[in-house]
Amino acid sequence: MNIVVDGMGGDFAPKNVIEGVKLALAERKDITKLLLTGDEQTLKNAMQAAGLSDRRIEIVHASQVVDMHDPATAPLRQKKDSSITVAADLVKKGEAEAVFSAGHTGASVAATSVKWRMLKGVDRPGIASPVPAEHGLGLILDAGANVDAKPQHLVQYAVMGSVYLKHVIGVQSPKIGLMSVGEEDHKGTDFTREVFGLLKDAPVNFVGNIEGNDIFDKGIDVILCDGFTGNVVLKTCEGTAKIMFKWLKSEIKASPLRMLGALIAKNAFKSVKERGSYESYGGSPLLGVNGICIIGHGSSSALAVKNGIRVACESVSHRVNPHIEEELAKLGK
Amino acid sequence: MNIVVDGMGGDFAPKNVIEGVKLALAERKDITKLLLTGDEQTLKNAMQAAGLSDRRIEIVHASQVVDMHDPATAPLRQKKDSSITVAADLVKKGEAEAVFSAGHTGASVAATSVKWRMLKGVDRPGIASPVPAEHGLGLILDAGANVDAKPQHLVQYAVMGSVYLKHVIGVQSPKIGLMSVGEEDHKGTDFTREVFGLLKDAPVNFVGNIEGNDIFDKGIDVILCDGFTGNVVLKTCEGTAKIMFKWLKSEIKASPLRMLGALIAKNAFKSVKERGSYESYGGSPLLGVNGICIIGHGSSSALAVKNGIRVACESVSHRVNPHIEEELAKLGK
């Protein structure tokens, strides 16, 4: 298969992107061609620095880069020759089947949504952000593509999240939990109550309302929410984990004895950090667009880029989009 | 001053409540009378078990208890003789100035809102839940009293949160951050953008949009949000902290060496736990009602109850409600 990688996307591009591409190509023989978009000379230099030369790589020049201060619509207006615009166009022209980008999330959503349009039965795309739940992979869906969502959008997300987990990850009957402010059926806002009613009749394994403290240890596979709530939840998890490590560090530094103990137990801290890291997931699928787009964390490491490319390949090979259209056709029947 | 304590409120009532009352009475000479509501015999037995006898205590019998499965309206309908209903009535009759309850949050909100009504200039009450920020006390406001909020409600919350922090906690110019999905002014939903516009003209120190990962370490004093978002944020913080301690424990138990190290450094873990604990804050003020109501965590310990009663006393002595009405009168002028 052919995959496009946004060579300029991410806080540490192109270095980490190129290093991630190198790891991905070494691992995946199913990649026939890997198209890299971005400034040709910059990418060539980065490839040389990383010692990367692979005949499967083809650089497709793009003169611009969407940066964090640009509006989401930049790839469609001010920066039509940006690396993400050119990447989306390559899929549109049929030259590749999937895009990975660790760049501006909103720009990736806008470029792919507008250029590729939606799958049949989908009104809005949703970002499925992985969270390290106790039982395995959980998905916060939508994590921020669609902040002014309508109830039917969430029902479509529930179906898409189920299909993704079933066909790509191999979860038999993914549990869908609706983020709310109490577990009882009637708890929540007018919006969540409407979604609740629609989900009862949808072809998914809806387990009811969940709360913010149910994300990790209640066996929920899809944490369903509007894009505003999902984005706030995701960043709150990150912020809480970060502050706890910070406090732990400062408390340990408070005495030489504590420092000694922490040194002896240091692998435990390392394991917890790894367990909570996004690196092994690599990226968040943007579900609902008519093509495969995997969104990486802005600060993606080479390992995260490699895993993001893996998620792109798996989404293609497991035919997630045709399956989504099939399942959505059952809605409202 | 006279304070009412809901003797039956909380998962560990009346035991923890009575023990907390004992601690509070030992510490606070400014409490003239402490009214305890609930079943008279049950409370007498618990007082005896705790070795509590203080002439300032007066038991006011209430034959019912609102439990976690009751609807929020129970104190006003099915359980009109509940401990929280009787507590709210005592303030209404002028026999006490503040209520502390660790019982059903929605029931406390409903009982006090309906019986006391709102302060002048307030449309809806908001729960100000304390979070242990790096710089000191942060407040998530609203943490769940008003889940279908209107933009003007959030502006009132911003004013009330500022007044509380200024007059009760002593923060000179409390920083108000609006929970959104990006720091730029235009980021967010139609709802948050409308709130943003209103806040620019409000008599508060509005610092702009904040994100979920800004809660602890950006010096924000009031994390302003609608009650749905606030409740989800609060519980997500709790859930993330809980899972991290769980993972750390299981990773430490994975080897005897790690266990040894953790034993040596154990005070560091203890300090982090204490830093994140709600116990020292004691309770969340319900701002906007015409009286003082402090809502405790359902699983409040004796220490949390003691501190909740302290927060109630301080809200009375610093005259938070008259100050709120003064400040709100400036809105729209």
Task: List CB contacts (< 8 A) between A213 and chain B.
Answer: 235-236, 238-239, 242
Q: Return the amino acid letter for B169.
A: I
Do residues A200 and A206 make contact, with C-beta atoms less than 8 angstroms apart? yes
Cβ partners under 8 Å of residue A283, min gap 6: A100, A102, A294, A295, A296, A297, A300, A304, A307, A308, A311, A312
B147, B76: one domain: no
A246, A271: one domain: yes
* Facing A251 at nearest CB: one of B239, B259, B268: B268
Chain A closest CA to B54's CA: distance in Å? 39
Judged by DSSP in three states, B251 sits in helix
Residues 112-131 of B with CB under 8 A from A: none
Chain A closest CA to B182's CA: distance in Å? 9
B40, B160: one domain: no
| Runs of H (alpha helix) within chain A | 15-27, 40-50, 83-92, 105-116, 151-164, 190-200, 227-252, 256-264, 266-275, 302-317, 320-329
B100, B216: one domain: no
Q: What residues are paired with B129 via a beta bridge?
A: B140
**Does residue B80 lie within any of the structural domains?**
yes
A273, A298: one domain: no
Convert A293-311 to b/e letters by CB count within 10 Å (16 or more is b). Answer: bbbbbeebbbbbbbbbbbb
Return the residue in B104, B148, B150, B181 with the most chain A beta carbons within 10 A, the one to mutate for interface testing.
Answer: B181
Q: Return the amino acid letter for A130.
A: P
* Facing A213 at nearest CB: one of B229, B238, B269: B238
Do residues B13 and B103 make contact, with C-beta atoms less than 8 angstroms apart? yes
Residue B3 sits in which domain range? Answer: 1-122+288-333
* Alpha-carbon gap, residue A300 to A266, rounded angstroms: 24
A148, A263: one domain: yes
pLDDT in tens, A207-241: 999 999 999 999 999 999 999 999 999 999 999 99
Task: List CB contacts (< 8 A) between B275 and chain A.
Answer: 247, 251
Identify the pLDDT of residue A261. 87
* Facing B147 at nearest CB: one of A188, A233, A238: A188
**Does residue B280 lie within any of the structural domains?**
no
Whether B236 and A257 lie within 8 Å, measured CB to CB: no
**Does residue A329 lie within any of the structural domains?**
no
A269, A235: one domain: yes
Q: What residues are paired with A130 via a beta bridge?
A: A139
Do residues B128 and B315 make contact, with C-beta atoms less than 8 angstroms apart? no
Query: What confidence category does residue A182 fall into, taking pLDDT thresholds of 50, 70 and 90?
Result: confident
By the CB < 8 Å criterion, does A268 face chain B? Answer: yes
Whether A236 and B238 lie within 8 Å, measured CB to CB: no
Chain A closest CA to B41's CA: distance in Å? 33
Judged by DSSP in three states, A47 sits in helix
Task: List CB contacts (< 8 A) between A192 and chain B.
Answer: 228
3-state secondary structure A221-267: CEEECCHHHHHHHHHHHHHHHHHHHHHHHHHHCCCHHHHHHHHHCHH
**Does residue B18 lie within any of the structural domains?**
yes
Whether B272 and A261 lie within 8 Å, measured CB to CB: no
User: Once rounded to an integer, what is the mean pLDDT over residues A144-149?
Assistant: 95
Q: What residues are paired with B6 via a beta bridge?
A: B37
**Does residue A277 lie within any of the structural domains?**
yes
**Does residue B308 lie within any of the structural domains?**
yes
**Does residue A111 lie within any of the structural domains?**
yes
User: Which phi and psi angles does B125 have, rounded to 5°?
Assistant: -80, 160
Identify the pLDDT of residue A266. 87
* Facing A232 at nearest CB: one of B216, B229, B263: B229
B143, B261: one domain: yes
Element (H, E) at A287: strand A284-287
Identify the pLDDT of residue B211. 96
Identify the pLDDT of residue B332. 66
Give DSSP secondary structure letters for B65-119: ---TTS-TTGGGTTTTTBHHHHHHHHHHTTS-SEEEE-S-HHHHHHHHHHHH-BP
Query: What confidence category does residue A333 fall into, taking pLDDT thresholds of 50, 70 and 90?
Result: low
* Alpha-carbon gap, residue B265 to B273, rounded angstroms: 13
Identify the pLDDT of residue A58. 97
A166, A206: one domain: yes
Strands (E), chain B: 2-6, 33-38, 57-61, 98-101, 126-133, 136-141, 175-179, 205-210, 222-224, 284-287, 292-295
**Does residue A309 lie within any of the structural domains?**
yes
CATH code of the domain covering residue A163: 3.40.718.10
B96, B170: one domain: no
Residues 274-303 of A with CB under 8 A from B: 275-276
* Alpha-carbon gap, residue B26 to B32, rounded angstroms: 12
Number of structural domains, chain B? 2
Residues 14-73 of B with CB under 8 A from A: none
What percent of chain A has pLDDT above 70?
A: 99
* Alpha-carbon gap, residue B234 to A211, rounded angstroms: 10
Chain B closest CA to A80's CA: distance in Å? 22
A206, A137: one domain: yes
* Alpha-carbon gap, residue B242 to B57, rounded angstroms: 37
Residue A183 scores a pLDDT above 90: no
pLDDT in tens, B281-311: 889 999 999 999 999 999 899 999 999 999 9
B222, B265: one domain: yes
* Alpha-carbon gap, residue A68 to A297, rounded angstroms: 13
How large is the C-alpha radius of gyration of chain A?
A: 20
Residues 131-170 of B with CB under 8 A from A: 134, 144, 147-148
Whether B252 and A246 lie within 8 Å, measured CB to CB: no
Helix axes A256-264, A227-252, angle to 10 degrees: 120
Task: List CB contacts (< 8 A) between B246 and chain A.
Answer: 217
Please identify every stretch of chain B with a pLDDT value under 70, giving residue numbers as ranges: 332-333
Identify the pLDDT of residue B333. 56
Return the structure tokens found at B98: 């503040």
Return the residue in B236, B251, B275 with the most chain A beta carbons within 10 A, the one to mutate for interface testing.
Answer: B236
Query: What confidence category does residue A171 fall into, taking pLDDT thresholds of 50, 70 and 90?
Result: very high
Return the structure tokens found at B281: 């804050």
Whether B215 and A240 lie within 8 Å, measured CB to CB: yes
Residue scoring higher pLDDT (A113 or A185): A113
